[in-house]
């Protein structure tokens, strides 16, 4: 059993003890002899403890973000490799739809391809005429970039069909290879889920991959 005298002797013999063991200093409570007044030493220890807790919280947040980014990277890599290796339009569309639903938890999604259904390979993508598409979603096709926000009911019906009434907000990106050949749209029931102020890096990146994998399979 170690008594207080031995502890004091040890600390006096090792004045750098708290330097080597700051966690022990953080746990100390040093109330002032006068009662509720806080001594300078106690205040210093309190500040150090608060800073330590803040730094730990920041570190935990960084680690959480890093783990989430790692998961996102793995999902994205798996999807991109699958799209690159696909040897048919149907395989590309099926892989895309499966990943959006299973990996990214997207509520609603659709891929529209512009052209003649009789000349394009079979797939789960919806094929629409070029003139018809420009008539209903011309502003989306002309944007040449990913857009997020609330769409008109006519645009929702054209993009999502029977699910249009269940969709509150949309993120959509045109697909282009020399010319616009389609549009990828994802939706959510929450009107604030996809906002005009949010980033579209992932959707734009996915569109770039589709721009390079689909055209060779559309012939």
User: Which of 96, 101, 100 has its CA nearest to residue 81?
Assistant: 96
User: Which of 124, 102, 111 has its CA nearest to residue 182?
Assistant: 111
- Predicted confidence (pLDDT) per residue in 13-30, tens digit: 887 777 777 667 666 655
Angle 199-201-202 (CA atoms, 0-180°, nearest 5)? 115
Q: What pLDDT score does 65 carry?
A: 87
Q: What pLDDT score does 27 carry?
A: 63
- Predicted confidence (pLDDT) per residue in 30-61, tens digit: 555 555 555 556 667 777 888 888 899 999 99
10 Å CB burial of residue 36 (0-12, 13-18, 19+) is exposed
CA 194, 196, 199, 205 dihedral sign is positive
- Predicted confidence (pLDDT) per residue in 93-114, tens digit: 999 999 999 999 999 999 999 9
Mean pLDDT of all residues belonging to the chain: 88
d(CA 85, CA 36): 71
Answer whether 96's CB lies under 8 Å from 67's CB.
no
d(CA 97, CA 103): 10
Q: What pLDDT score does 30 carry?
A: 56
User: Which of 180, 198, 199 has its CA nearest to residue 142?
Assistant: 180
What percentage of the chain exceeds 90 in pLDDT? 64
The Cα-based distances of 127 to 8, 118, 122, 207 in angstroms read 83, 9, 10, 17
88-217: CATH, from 3.30.365.10, 3.65.10.10, 3.30.1330.60, 3.30.450.40 = 3.30.450.40
Q: What pLDDT score does 47 carry?
A: 76
Residue range(s) of every CATH 3.30.450.40 domain in the chain: 88-217
Query: pLDDT band for position 85 (50/70/90)?
Result: very high
Q: What pLDDT score does 4 carry?
A: 82
Q: What is the pTM of this model?
A: 0.73
User: Which of 149, 137, 148, 145 has its CA nearest to residue 207?
Assistant: 145
Q: What pLDDT score does 15 carry?
A: 77
Question: Quick one: average pLDDT of 177-190?
Answer: 96
d(CA 59, CA 69): 15
Place of tokens 């604030």: 192
Q: What pLDDT score does 2 carry?
A: 77
186 has a pLDDT exceeding 90 = yes
């Amino acid at each position: 059993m170690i008594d207080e005298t031995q502890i004091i002797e040890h600390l006096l013999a090792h004045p750098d003890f708290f330097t080597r063991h700051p966690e022990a200093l953080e746990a100390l409570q040093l109330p002032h002899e006068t009662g509720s007044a806080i001594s300078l030493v106690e205040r210093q220890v309190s500040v150090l403890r608060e800073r330590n807790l803040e730094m730990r919280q920041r570190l935990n947040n960084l680690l959480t973000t890093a783990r989430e980014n790692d998961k996102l990277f793995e999902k994205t890599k798996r999807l991109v490799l699958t799209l690159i290796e696909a040897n048919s339009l149907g395989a590309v569309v099926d892989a895309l739809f499966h990943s959006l639903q299973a990996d990214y938890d997207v509520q609603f999604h659709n891929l529209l391809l512009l052209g003649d259904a009789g000349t394009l390979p079979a797939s789960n993508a919806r094929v629409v005429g070029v003139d018809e598409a420009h008539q209903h979603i011309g502003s989306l096709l002309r944007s040449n970039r990913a857009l997020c926000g609330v769409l008109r009911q006519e645009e929702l019906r054209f993009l999502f069909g029977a699910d249009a009434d269940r969709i509150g907000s949309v993120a959509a990106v045109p697909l282009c290879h020399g010319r616009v050949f389609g549009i990828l749209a994802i939706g959510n029931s929450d009107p604030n889920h996809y906002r005009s102020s949010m980033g579209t890096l992932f959707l734009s990146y996915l569109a770039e991959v589709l721009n390079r994998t689909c055209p060779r399979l559309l012939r």
